[in-house]
Amino acid sequence: MTDPLSRRTLLAGLGVGAAVVAGQGAAQALQRGAVAPMPPALPARMRGLNLELSPGSLSPAIARELAGWGVNTVRINFSTDLAAGTSPDRRMIRPSRADPLAPYRTNLAMLKQFTAECAQLGVGVMLAANGIYGRDTVNLDDSSGRSFRIGVGDSLMQFWTAIARELRDDPAIFAYDVLNEPNYTFRREADGAVWYEQLLPEAIRRIRAMNPTIWLAVMPWPWGFARRYGSMPVIDDPAILYTFHNYSPHNYTNQGVGTQPRQGSYPGRLREFDSEPYSQWGKASLAASMQPAFDFARRHNVRMMASEFGVTRWAPGRDRWIADMVSILEANGVDWLFHTYNTWNGWNPSFAPDAPEVAIHPTLFGGFNSPGHRTLLRHWQLNQRW
């Protein structure tokens, strides 16, 4: 990692005016000549998976199962109880000044049980702000960002101030992912100013006021696309993990999700999105889709993670796609977290392609030892513990 003072010098030399300034406490300590607190040491390589929230999805038994596979890192997409289906009375509870975490209380209790087990097992946990209060009100046809700022802004700040205080001493949580797939328009304009210049720096300040050393995961606007690292600012903070999500080509990996047709085989002629032409997709094109992220990591000497990648289990060529993705990430020294083995089993490669779809399954393993599952398992078993 580049130290903060060297990074500021680097940014000045590059003329990157959009750099985000984070923790005031760390900056003041540096100005006084004091030694800034150090973030926790990371394993040589983080290889793991994502977990979504549903009733029972973060049980201690799940922690033991994934640890038995060799997983050393888990990312949890955290949301309100209502969004996760864990709300006792199936209604949204508003956050308040007295209890800013009121919408999340059931999930928070489940999380604490899970992280207590992870701490015993040597598994690190990254907590991502995902379905936070108000995010479902964002109008994705509003390319100005106003709806995003109103729907997410205050709620995100309130969430991180309260969560960072509540979980400051959690022994397993090593990182906060500031916002899962930041976006506010389906049009994919280049302008992410509302996120980069307003909400992201304020969220980092709120977290740093509570916890000056925890790692912070950030990804490009919009949607965490690796190709958007060409416009990603370097964050002026000593504990940043740069991340991206990769489901390329999207129409292939997401086939059978919602209304996406089940069609296309990898490798082959595929489309990234409906609006784009068909082209040949294989390992070389898959690597090219992530190259901007790899280049960014090398240019700035920072840690890079593919914090989500996955493909539906019935997609023809799924096992080859998983093997190619893992091979590319390993060759580029990138940490990675597969999406996903719990909740809806459409992404889970340990279920047979024709197995019935279920929303909740009591274990991660679905009983089918596919080549894709074996690829992930073989690499997880290379891990070091925290």
For residue 125, the SS3 value is strand
- Above 80 in pLDDT, residue 3? no
Count of alpha carbons within 13 Å of 320, Cβ hemisphere only?
Answer: 13
Answer for the pair 337, 51: CB distance below 8 angstroms, yes or no.
Answer: no
CA distance 93 to 9: 46
Listed in sequence order, the residues at least 6 apart from 305 whose beta carbon sits closer than 8 Å to its beta carbon are 46, 217, 241, 242, 243, 244, 334, 335, 336, 337
CA distance 60 to 54: 14
Percentage of the chain exceeding pLDDT 90: 76
CA distance 30 to 189: 37
- Above 60 in pLDDT, residue 5? no
Q: Output the six-digit token pair for 102.
A: 């009121």
Q: Which of 367, 266, 365, 363 is nearest to 318 (CA)?
A: 266
pLDDT grade, residue 35 (50/70/90)?
A: low
Q: Output the six-digit token pair for 79.
A: 């949301």
Q: Which of 139, 246, 148 is nearest to 197 (CA)?
A: 148
Q: What is the pLDDT of residue 19?
A: 47
Range 195-232 burial, b when 16+ CB lie within 10 A, else e? bbeebbbebbbbbbebbbbbbbbbbbbbbbbbbbbeeb
Tracing tokens 């996406």 back to the chain, one arrives at 260
- Above 70 in pLDDT, residue 44? yes
238: preceding bond cis by omega (within 30 degrees): no
Listed in sequence order, the residues at least 6 apart from 152 whose beta carbon sits closer than 8 Å to its beta carbon are 132, 134, 135, 138, 179, 199
Does domain 26-32+43-380 correspond to CATH entry 3.40.50.1470?
Answer: no
- Above 60 in pLDDT, residue 211? yes
Report the number of secondary-structure helices (H) and strands (E) in the chain: 12, 12
Widest pairwise Cα distance in the chain: 63
- Overall residue count recorded for the chain in this entry: 386
CA distance 47 to 185: 31
Following DSSP, what letter does each residue of 16-39 receive, concatenated? Answer: -TTPEE--HHHHHHHHTTPPPPPP
- Above 50 in pLDDT, residue 301? yes
Residue-wise pLDDT tens digits, 119-177: 999 999 999 999 999 888 777 677 667 777 777 888 999 999 999 999 999 999 999 99
CA distance 103 to 83: 10
Q: What is the pLDDT of residue 12?
A: 28
Full-model pTM: 0.90
Residue-wise pLDDT tens digits, 351-380: 999 999 999 999 999 999 999 999 999 999
Q: What is the pLDDT of residue 191?
A: 59
pLDDT grade, residue 37 (50/70/90)?
A: confident
CA distance 174 to 216: 9
Instruction: Name the residue ranges covered by the structural domains of the chain.
Output: 26-32+43-380
Count of alpha carbons within 13 Å of 251, Cβ hemisphere only?
Answer: 17
Q: Output the six-digit token pair for 197.
A: 């210049």
- Above 50 in pLDDT, residue 70? yes
Tracing tokens 């009983």 back to the chain, one arrives at 367
